[in-house]
Structures are given as structure tokens and as C-alpha cells.
Amino acid sequence: MILVKLGGSVITDKGKLRSFRKLTCERLAKELWRARDSLTIVHGAGSFGHIRAKEHGLHKGFKRKSQLGHVAAVQRDVRELNLKVLEALIDSGIRAVSIPPAAAATFRGGAVASFNPDAFRNMTQLGLSPVSFGDVVPDEAMGFSICSGDLMMEALAKEFEPELVVFCADVDGVFDRDPKRARSARLIPDFGRPSLKLLGRSDAQHADVTGSIRGKLERMLAIAQHCEKCMIVNGNVPGRLERAISGKEVISTVVLPG
């Protein structure tokens, strides 16, 4: 099985509320279809989730009643995005079916408390491609919390031990500095646990509701232990995703188990 995350920063314009990058998503869907059809896909929420979730502190769990309308709105918005992604995938020939995180998992304290892989397994065995996504979920300790697409990626990787895990980002991979700010930033082609110390200063101020780059990398290091290869590629460059999942040489960061 190949497990792919379509990052929210690739399939949406992260700075503009609910703005879908349709052409990019359609191209990525075609790349996925051309390369292989035994796929499990997870997508992020981008501007369909992060903006409103941050504004109303939804990642901190239930604090006040006035948050609830926003919980409902974010749930609706990420489902709207999920439908758009499904449409692009199905139009490209992928037999995509949606599995929201709360249909397969329970959550406690912002982490997965239990994971039932049956829906994913059954759909895959039939020849369908399950599609999950970052979402607002019921949380046994916090009332509700945010389940990132990365959290689902980790649960799926642990359960299914895929041969390949690909994270589709809006940069070429992991850099020693923020490549959007520093032109001298260098790509780290192979990223292991010791590479964490190569990263620039804390990026806490750029963290979104699902955490900092460092936190995301910690999760990828954990995922790398459950697959043969885990890599990050730039989804904005045509052909990179297709090359990655076809096993061809491609500009990327390979995350080493650590």
C-alpha cells in the first residue's frame, strides 16, 4: 500500500479562508492515478480548517459555548474540502471513498485513543481508495479537539505498514532554514533524528493549530519506522508526486526511521 498526504498548503491557499486550489488538486489527482491505484490518501484542511480553528481556539478543546458554532462550521468546511478532493480524485479515475477520522478512531487529549482499521481495510480490499482528512473530532478529555491529517497518517502507517509514505508539501522537502525567507536555505536530502538539531530557531510563532514544523517532523520520524520509505516532495512542481510514487529519482527529503 502507498499512503499519501496531500498537504493543506498545496490543495488550498492557506492565507485565504476556504480557497481551494482546484487545478493543483486535479493535477495531483492525475499524477496519483497515473502512478498507481492501490492508494490510501489523507488530506490536510488548509484554509478550510486552520484559520477559523485558530481564531476560536478549537485546538485547546471546549472552553465556552460560543465555540460550538465554530466547531460545526469547521466540520462543515473540511467536509466541503473533502468533497472537492473526492471529485478531483474520482474524475481522474481513482475510486475514492471518504472515511472521516472519527469514523475510525476515538481521541483523548488531542491524541488517538483507539483506532479501528476495519473500514480502511475493507474498502482497500474491495479495490477502493480510502480518503481521510484533518478534522475537528470528539475528544474524551477535551470535549473536542483537532485531528490533523498527520495524526491519521501515523495511525494508518502503524496499522498497515505501507511500502511508501509520501507527504506532499509546498516546498521541496526539509531545509536547514525557512526556504521562503532565506535564499541560502539548503535542502536536507536525508533527514534522521539527529537532523532535528540542524533546523533553525524555534518556529513556534509560525505554528498553526496542528503544531510546528518540528512537531510534524517528530511525527514523520515515527511514521518512518512503520514503512519502507517515507518522503516529502513538492506538490507544486508538476511530476514530483508521480515520480515519487513510481519509485523514480526525485528532489525530496527522505525521512529516516528514528
- The amino acid sitting at 249 is E
Tell me how far, at minimum, the Cβ of 106 lies from ligand IPE, in Å: 17
157: cell is 502507517
Q: Pick from 85, 112, 128, 146: which binds ligand IPE (CB under 6 A)?
A: 146
Residue 3's beta-bridge partner residues? 40, 165
Greatest Cα pair distance in the chain: 51
Counting residues that bind ligand IPE (by CB under 6 A) gives 21
Asked if residue 135 binds ligand IPE (CB under 6 A), the reply is yes
Piece of 123-131, 156-164, 178-186, 202-210 that binds ligand IPE (CB under 6 A): 202-210
Footprint on residues 8-27 left by ligand IPE (CB under 6 A): 8-9
* Number of neighbouring beta carbons within 10 Å of residue 38: 11
Q: Is 172 in the site for ligand IPE (CB under 6 A)?
A: no
Residues 40-59 that bind ligand IPE (CB under 6 A): 44-46, 49-50, 53
Distance CA 256, CA 231 (A): 9
Task: State how far the alpha carbon of 189 is from the alpha carbons of 110, 130, 175, in Å.
Answer: 31, 30, 9
149 in contact with ligand IPE (CB under 6 A): yes
Using CB under 6 A, list all residues that contact ligand IPE. Answer: 7-9, 44-46, 49-50, 53, 74, 78, 134-136, 146, 148-150, 208-210
